[in-house]
Amino acid sequence: MKGGVGKTTLSANIGAHFQKLGARVLYIDFDYQGTLSLMVATAAGTDRVEANSFRLLEDSSFTEAMKHVHRFPKLDRVGLFASHYVLFRDEMQLFANWVSEKTDYDIRYALAKILSDDELAKEWDIVVIDCGPRFTTSTINALCASTHVVIPAILDEPSSQAVGYLSKEFQDHKTELFPTLKLLGVIPTMIGQDPPERKTPKFSDSETEQLDAIKRTVAQTWNERNLILESARIPDRAPISKHANKIAYYENSEAQRVFARAGDILLERLKDEGFRTSWSP
């Protein structure tokens, strides 16, 4: 529920790490800014791609939807449904049609219907969805269709409050809309210190204070332990920030190290919950 915490950066680079491991990665950009789309397109050596993620909000089958996925000769095993500011117009129109009963499908589950098709696993190993900091029709679709959610958070007071608000919103709607959705973890981002040789994360006093606040909030809301992934932290480093419109994982060895660490931790947590794959070590 807060911008600038690293949602898109994390989505793009974690997906890149999975792709590097051999996964077939489908990116879905549900953020109006379209930054994920720009990052993937740039990594693939092409211009900004046509916005088409709104098609995943239509009453469509998996086969029909996949006719529109962007594929890239220079970026093997990657697909993209792209976004731009027109997504706001398109999703509002689709939502208005549903509310006024001009359509008979439940727009909240349009994406879930597409991604629940058995054919999905034949084409893609993992789907990474990037959403904006708001509960929109597309964000609700993402939550209804997903198995897990990852929350990046800067360790400052506005972000810790936003994590609490977001967790409460999840719980308020979880039973009705997405009862099986799980929180995979909260990843601290833009950390001040991250010595490469140090395995145990080191946080400043102010970061530790906010980290403790987030721990309390998440524990109360999700009623689970070990959801704050301190070891997966993302530091505030030039090799990452200087490639803001690119996928830093492909550009810099330091960025690759950081996001590989986070990606491996997420992957291990998925495996602990029964996720099995032929592409990961």
The domain that contains 149 carries what CATH number?
3.40.50.300
Rounded mean pLDDT, 265-278:
91
Q: Are 279 and 124 in contact (CB under 8 A)?
A: no
Asked if the structure places residue 121 within a domain, the reply is: yes
* Residue 196 pLDDT level (bands cut at 50, 70, 90): low
Asked if the structure places residue 136 within a domain, the reply is: yes
Identity of residue 234: I
Average pLDDT over the chain, rounded to an integer:
92
Asked if the structure places residue 1 within a domain, the reply is: no
Q: How many domains does the chain divide into?
A: 1
Q: Which range, 2-6, 15-19, 83-87, 235-239, has the best average confidence (pLDDT)?
A: 15-19
DSSP letter assigned to residue 55: G
Q: How many Å apart are CA 18 and CA 22, to the nearest integer?
A: 7
- pLDDT digit string, tens, across residues 100-148: 989 999 999 999 999 999 999 999 999 999 998 888 999 999 999 999 9
- pLDDT digit string, tens, across residues 27-84: 999 999 999 999 999 999 998 799 999 999 999 999 999 999 999 999 999 999 999 9
CA 277 to chain centre: 19
CA 37 to chain centre: 13
Phi, psi for 194 (deg, rounded to 5): -160, 70
Q: Which domain holds residue 15?
A: 7-272
Residue 23 to residues 89, 119, 147, 212, 252: CA-CA distances in angstroms?
A: 33, 16, 17, 35, 20
- Which of 173, 175, 168 lies closest to 151 in space, CA to CA? 168
Report whether pLDDT(197) > 70.
no
Work out the end-to-end distance of the chain between its first and last CA atoms, rounded to an integer number of angstroms.
Answer: 34
* Residue 16 pLDDT level (bands cut at 50, 70, 90): very high
Q: Is 27 exposed, middle or buried (0-12, 13-18, 19+ CB in 10 A)?
A: buried
Asked if the structure places residue 278 within a domain, the reply is: no
Percentage of the residues of the chain whose pLDDT score is greater than 70 = 97
Asked if the structure places residue 279 within a domain, the reply is: no
Would you state the pLDDT for residue 198?
65
Would you state the pLDDT for residue 165?
87
Q: Are 124 and 80 in contact (CB under 8 A)?
A: no
CA 192 to chain centre: 23
